[in-house]
Amino acid sequence: MTELAKDLGVEIEFVPADWKTLLNGVVSGAYHLTGSASISPSRAKAAGYSTSYFSLATVPLILSRNARQYKDWNDLNQAGVTVAATLGTTQKQQIKPYFPKAAHKIVDAPARDFQEVLAGRADAHITSNVEA
């Protein structure tokens, strides 16, 4: 974002925001753009997107000590496994169809899903490859 501001010849001001209100901030004029919203039809109807310059994907993150237990996505889609995601994110919408057999833990703020895994209250969390 800093480089984009330089290219545009403008000053940049970073504004704290929550995922659940990210789009509202753009639409209301609280800020001009965000560099972290994944593409969805509902967001595209309310705001707009520039041409993407990278590929976005959803990835699961686990504790390294559990790498042998959870080798692929199917290992996470099991009864007795808890997968976390953040409210207001694309991953929140993906958690049910991707992991129908697992328990789901939806957290309110960014980085809380990481904390759920670190604390042992979730076995994995899903996020974007960029955040990961």
Domain positions in the chain are 2-46, 58-128
Spell out the residues 6+ positions from residue 41 whose beta carbon is closer than 8 angstroms to its own.
none
What number does CATH give the domain 58-128? 3.40.190.10
| Rounded Cα gap, residues 22 and 16, in angstroms | 9
More confident residue, 124 or 132: 124
| Contact by Cβ (8 Å): 61, 125 | yes
More confident residue, 12 or 44: 12
Q: pLDDT at position 12, please?
A: 92
Spell out the residues 6+ positions from residue 84 whose beta carbon is closer than 8 angstroms to its own.
104, 105, 106, 107, 112, 113, 116, 117, 121, 122, 124, 125, 126
pLDDT bin (cut points 50, 70, 90) of residue 117 is very high
Q: pLDDT at position 67, please?
A: 95
Which residue in 116, 36, 43 sits closest to 126, CA to CA? 116
pLDDT surpassing 90 at residue 34: no
